[in-house]
Structures are given as structure tokens and as C-alpha cells.
Amino acid sequence: MKPYFRTRYLSEAAMIAALYLLLTLLTFSFSSGAVQLRLSEALAVLPYFTPAAIPGLTVGCLLSNLISGCAPWDVVFGSLATLIGAILAWFFRRLVYLVPIPNIVSNTVIIPLVLRFACGSEEVLPFLFLSIGVSELLSSGVLGLALLLLLRRYGSRIFKKY
């Protein structure tokens, strides 16, 4: 990889991480807990445009969870759920309308388990699966897909191919 591409890759990843962190902190009051709507999860479609989104989203999620005072298990497994979703979204990039699905599924499966067993949430698992699933469907599915379709028009100017 040429130095120019490494610098661009790291810059894109850092900007995506910063944007994820900013969106999470701006909407902090409803971006954590059993019922949450993380607007930053809409960015989970960015692997469609660039592989730099994979570390960017993961670091952004990690920093968001650290700063917001999440339990250590939530920091680890929440970031892992985002990493899994981002990697799979990269592989789904040829199927445009399916790009948000990996993030929705990974977070819907992992986060309720973390909230229940690691964070000691009193809610029952079916409720947690439902609430996190609906929030991911709204943030990643609806908002994320809208973002993806909007950026598709200008994505080649914003994100260069490697």
C-alpha cells in the first residue's frame, strides 16, 4: 500500500470514528440502556463505500462506550458487535439493500445478552431483544439505508477506491 493510500485510509477511519463518537455523545440521553436509539448506528452502512469504515466504526463505538461510562463487558462486546457488523457489511456491499442487515443482527443478538448478564439489567431477554432489535432496525435499517442511498450519488467523490 502506497503512503498516500495509508494516510487516506487512516484519515477516513479517524473521521468516521470521530463522527460516530460525536453523534453518540450528541444523542447520549437516548443512546444507551435497554431502550436506545443510537443515531450513530446509521453510519454502519459506510463499509459499503470504504474498508476504512471498519476500524473507524469499531474505534468510534469503543470510544463512545468508554466515554459514556459503560460497563467493561459492554465496551468489549458492544465494540465487537459493531466490528462484526462492519466486516459483514463490507462483504454485503454488492447487495446494496442488505448492507445494514449485518449490523442489525449482530447488535440485536449481542447487546441484549451483554445488558442482561454483564450489566445486570432487570429486563427479561425477550424484551431486550425486541427493544434493541427495533432500535437497530430504525437507526441502521431506516436511517442507515437512507444515508447509503443519499451517499451513493456522491460517494465516489467522498470515498476514493483503494
Q: What is the pLDDT of residues 61-116, one digit of tens each?
A: 999 989 887 788 889 999 999 999 999 999 999 999 999 999 999 999 999 998 88
pTM: 0.89
Domain residue ranges in the chain: 3-28+43-158
Average pLDDT over residues 19-28: 90
In whole angstroms, give the CA distance from residue 126 to residue 112: 9
Report DSSP state, residue 156: H
Task: Extract the C-alpha cell encoding 162.
Answer: 483503494
Q: Give the pLDDT of residue 16.
A: 97
Strands (E), the chain: none
| pLDDT at position 12 over 90 | yes
**Residue 115, CA distances (Å) to 27, 44, 61, 80, 127 in order:** 19, 21, 16, 14, 11
Tell me the average pLDDT of the chain: 89
Residue pair 96/148 in contact (Cβ under 8 Å)? The answer is yes
pLDDT for position 68: 80
Q: How far apart are CA 34 and CA 126, in angstroms?
A: 11
Q: What is the percent of the chain with per-residue pLDDT over 70, rounded to a whole number?
A: 89
Q: What is the pLDDT of residue 72?
A: 86
pLDDT beyond 90 at 124 = no
Instruction: Assign 31 a pLDDT band (cuts: 50, 70, 90).
Output: low
- C-beta neighbour count of 133 within 10 angstroms: 18
What phi and psi, each to the nearest 5 degrees, are found at residue 116? Answer: -75, -50
Query: CA-CA distance, 121 to 101, in Å (whole number)?
Result: 26
